Structure 1
Amino acid sequence: MKKLLLATALAAFGTGAVTGAMAQDVVRIGTEGAYEPYNYIDQATGKLTGYEIELGTELCKRAGLTCEFVQNAWDSIIPNLQSGNYDIIMAGMSITDERKQMIDFTENYIPPASSAYVGLTADANIGDGAVIAAQTGTIQAGYIAEQPGVTLLEYATPDETVAAVKNGEADAVFADKDYLAPIAGDSGGALVLLADEVQLGGGVGGGMRKSDTELRAKFDEAIKSMKADGTLNTMITKWFGPEAALF
Structure 2
Amino acid sequence: MKHLILSAAALALSASLATAQTVRMGTEGAYPPYNFINDAGEVDGFERELGDELCARAELTCEWVTNEWDSIIPNLVSGNYDTIIAGMSITDERDKVIDFTQNYIPPAASAYAALSADADVSSGVIAAQTATIQAAHVAESGATLLEYPTPDETIAAVRNGEADAVFADKDFLAPIVAESNGQLVWAGEDVQLGGGVGLGIRESDTELRDKFDAAIQSMKDDGTLNAMIKKWFGDEALVY
Task: Answer whether TM exceeds 0.5 for this pair.
Answer: yes
* Larger gyration radius, structure 1 or structure 2: 2
Aligned 8 A contact 1:77 1:89 in 2: yes
Aligned 8 A contact 1:22 1:214 in 2: no
Residue of structure 1 aligned with 2:129, choices 117, 135, 141: 135
Q: Note the residue ranges of structure 1 that are not aligned, 5 or more in a row.
A: 1-19
Letter in 2 for 1:119: A
Aligned to 1:51: 46
Residue of structure 1 aligned with 2:231, choices 225, 235, 238: 238
- Identity, % of aligned positions: 67
Letter in 1 for 2:44: T
Letter in 1 for 2:114: G
Q: Distance in 2 between matches of 1:143 and 1:23?
A: 41
Q: Distance in 2 between matches of 1:23 and 1:80?
A: 20
Residue of structure 2 aligned with 1:200, choices 193, 199, 210: 193
Aligned 8 A contact 2:121 2:187 in 1: no
The 1:183–1:112 alpha-carbon spacing in structure 2 relative to 1, beyond 3 Å, is same
Letter in 1 for 2:140: E
Q: How many residues align?
A: 225
Equivalent residue of 1:110, what SS? coil
Between structures 1 and 2, the one with greater helix share: 2
Verify: 1:24 aligned to 2:20, yes or no.
yes
Dislocated runs of 4+, deviation >4 Å: 20-23
Q: Using the TM superposition, give the Cα deviation of residue 48 of structure 1 relative to its aligned residue in structure 2, in angstroms.
A: 1.0
Q: Using the TM superposition, give the Cα deviation of residue 193 of structure 1 relative to its aligned residue in structure 2, in angstroms.
A: 2.1
Equivalent residue of 2:141, what SS? coil
User: Residues 199-235 of structure 1, C-alpha deviation per residue, up to 9 Å, x if partnerless?
Assistant: 0000000000111111111101100000000000000
Q: Note the residue ranges of structure 2 that are not aligned, 5 or more in a row.
A: 1-15
Residue of structure 1 aligned with 2:152, choices 143, 155, 159: 159
Verify: 1:229 aligned to 2:222, yes or no.
yes
Verify: 1:40 aligned to 2:32, yes or no.
no
The 1:21–1:77 alpha-carbon spacing in structure 2 relative to 1, beyond 3 Å, is farther
RMSD: 1.5
Q: Using the TM superposition, give the Cα deviation of residue 29 of structure 1 relative to its aligned residue in structure 2, in angstroms.
A: 0.4
Q: Distance in 1 between matches of 2:110 and 2:156?
A: 18
Equivalent residue of 1:146, what SS? helix
Equivalent residue of 1:81, what SS? helix
TM-score, length basis structure 1? 0.88
Q: Bigger relative contact order, structure 1 or 2, given CA contacts below 8 A and separation 6+?
A: 1
The 1:184–1:73 alpha-carbon spacing in structure 2 relative to 1, beyond 3 Å, is same
TM-score, length basis structure 2? 0.91
Q: Distance in 1 between matches of 2:121 and 2:100?
A: 32
